[in-house]
């Protein structure tokens, strides 16, 4: 079951914040976040396991709400380098493959 990402696209000015959501209709085992820049391979950002933990990577952090079956990616004080398409990948159990959402295109402008 493919997770649903929102918004589909967002445009920010440098320094603004953004939140990208990833929702599943099934209970989640883990959530993986990746960023893909145009013409490049997706790059791993972080992984969250069930338990409601929050992780951070510089000014990018994420939370995992097991009860709501969703994860959110937080980008604070955005930089031009944050531009790209963000994908969440979810696993619903230890035996299921990683299934990705359709992505959220983030554009940061000066």
Partner 1 sequence: KAGVTQTPRYLIKTRGQQVTLSCSPISGHRSVSWYQQTPGQGLQFLFEYFSETQRNKGNFPGRFSGRQFSNSRSEMNVSTLELGDSALYLCASSFGLKETQYFGPGTRLLVL
CA 12 vs CA 55, 73, 108: distances in Å:
23, 15, 5
CA 2 vs CA 25, 29, 92, 107: distances in Å:
9, 14, 11, 24
CA dist 95 and 105 (Å) reads 30
- For residues 40 and 51, which CB has a smaller minimum distance to partner 1 in the complex? 40
For the CB of residue 3, give the shortest distance to partner 1 in the complex, in Å: 10
Summarize as ranges the residues that interact with partner 1 (CB under 8 A).
Answer: 2, 30, 32, 34, 40-44, 47, 87, 89, 91, 94-103
- For residues 76 and 107, which CB has a smaller minimum distance to partner 1 in the complex? 107
For the CB of residue 97, give the shortest distance to partner 1 in the complex, in Å: 4
- For residues 2 and 17, which CB has a smaller minimum distance to partner 1 in the complex? 2
Is residue 75 a contact partner of residue 18, using CB atoms and an 8 Å limit?
A: yes
For the CB of residue 27, give the shortest distance to partner 1 in the complex, in Å: 16
């Amino acid at each position: 079951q493919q997770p649903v990402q929102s918004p589909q696209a967002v445009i920010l000015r440098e320094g603004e914040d953004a939140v990208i959501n990833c929702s599943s209709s099934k209970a989640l085992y883990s959530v993986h976040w990746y960023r893909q820049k145009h013409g490049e391979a997706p790059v791993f950002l972080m992984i969250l396991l069930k338990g409601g933990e929050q992780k951070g990577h510089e000014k990018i952090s994420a939370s995992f709400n097991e009860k709501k079956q969703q994860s959110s990616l937080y980008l604070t004080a955005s930089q031009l380098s944050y531009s790209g398409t963000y994908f969440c990948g979810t696993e619903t159990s230890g035996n299921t493959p990683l299934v990705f959402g359709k992505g959220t295109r983030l554009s940061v402008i000066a």
